[in-house]
Amino acid sequence: MLKLDIKNQIIDIKLDIKKGEIVAISGDSGAGKTTLLRVISGLEDAKGNIEADGEFWLKNSRSLHPRRRSVGFAMQNFALFENMTILDNLLYVENNLELANRLLESVDLIEFKDRYPKQLSGGQQQRVALCRAVVKRPKILLLDEPLSALHSKMRLKLQKEILKLHKEFNLTTIFVSHNITEIYNMANRVVELKRGRVVGDKLIEKEIYEQPFIYAEIVEKMESYGKYYIILKISDRLVKNSVEKDRFTRYNIGDFIKVEVKV
């Protein structure tokens, strides 16, 4: 369990996150999303309390050093060591050669392990940053728009890989994203921030039930491996529904359609 009651000049947030959850943080630019992750990691100051599995990382103004917090953090700017090879960037965090190689293999970078960050593209560096965040097997995994620089095929691959690693290492994962499809595919809960405060906290459902009928708004359309899906907003939930291609083409984001739900 991660319990947050934190405040600084940008954010004022109370939030409980259960162990094993995957929580997406959404909101407009400047809402405090990155600041929230940085405060959890200890890279930015705040007052209040951060309690992780019974251990206080922040209590009033007393803060546990970032290196003593069991956090893996993949930042937007990657923060790789330019004078180290890709493999050494991972080994610097955790001297586990087998796991480091396995992680690089999972993101299709094993053949680049002896190169330096400046020799990689932005998307490749982003994948290295993700591996480095996971290699220490942290309690809390923080991801700041972890897939933003990737093309759609690699984005989908890494969504699945993150979910696999999350489950294998029994992580609690918090990630920032503006992409509603990404949020749906990865998270089981989405927290919306506005001006540094929580204004929405919703569970994400993965199915539509039977009767009665209600009207739901289409908030996203997605195609995956020849199948077509619409994502609907039903009350305070996001719900995915498969549709035929002709209906998929006919629907527009913002349309309201009749669906069956279980009450």
Of 202, 200, 176, nearest in space to 32 by CA: 176
Better-predicted residue by pLDDT, 196 or 247: 196
Highest mean pLDDT among 68-82, 150-164, 201-215: 68-82
The string of pLDDT tens digits covering residues 113-135 is: 999 999 999 889 988 999 999 99
- Name the strands in the sheet holding 189-194, side by side, starting at the edge strand that comes first in the sequence: 71-74, 140-144, 172-176, 22-26, 189-194, 197-203
**With contact defined as beta carbons under 8 Å apart, do 134 and 169 qualify?**
yes
> Does pLDDT of 181 surpass 70?
yes
Query: What does the pLDDT look like over 50-70, one tens digit per residue?
Result: 999 999 999 988 999 999 999
Cβ atoms 211, 260 nearer than 8 A: yes
Which among 54, 61, 63, 65 has a CA at the least distance from the CA of 1? 54
Tell me the percentage of the chain whose pLDDT exceeds 90: 54
**Chain centroid to CA 191: how far?**
11
The CATH class of 213-260 is mainly beta
Parts of the chain belonging to CATH 2.40.50? 213-260
pLDDT at 206 over 80: no
Does the structure show a pLDDT above 70 at 37? Answer: yes
Whole-number Å distance between alpha carbons of 6 and 16? 12
Report the pLDDT value the prediction gives residue 7, as an integer from 0 to 100: 95
Helix axes 86-93, 97-106, angle to 10 degrees: 130
In the CATH scheme, what architecture does the domain 2-203 have? 3-Layer(aba) Sandwich (3.40)
pLDDT for 208 equals 47
Contact 41, 2 (CB under 8 A): no
Check whether 170 has a pLDDT greater than 80.
yes
Whether pLDDT at 16 is above 90: yes
Helix (H) or strand (E) holding 57: strand 55-60
* Ramachandran class of 156: left when φ > 0, alpha when ψ lies in -120 to 50, beta otherwise: alpha
Tokens encoding 109: 């970078």
As a 3-state breakdown, the chain gives helix, strand, coil percent values, each rounded to 5, of: 30, 35, 35
pLDDT number for residue 123: 85
Q: pLDDT tens for residues 133-165?
A: 999 899 999 999 888 877 777 787 888 888 888
Residue ranges, comma separated, of all CATH 3.40.50.300 domains in the chain are: 2-203
Q: How confident is the model at residue 242 (pLDDT cuts 50, 70, 90)?
A: confident
User: What band does 263 get if pLDDT is binned at 50, 70 and 90?
Assistant: very low
pTM of the model: 0.77
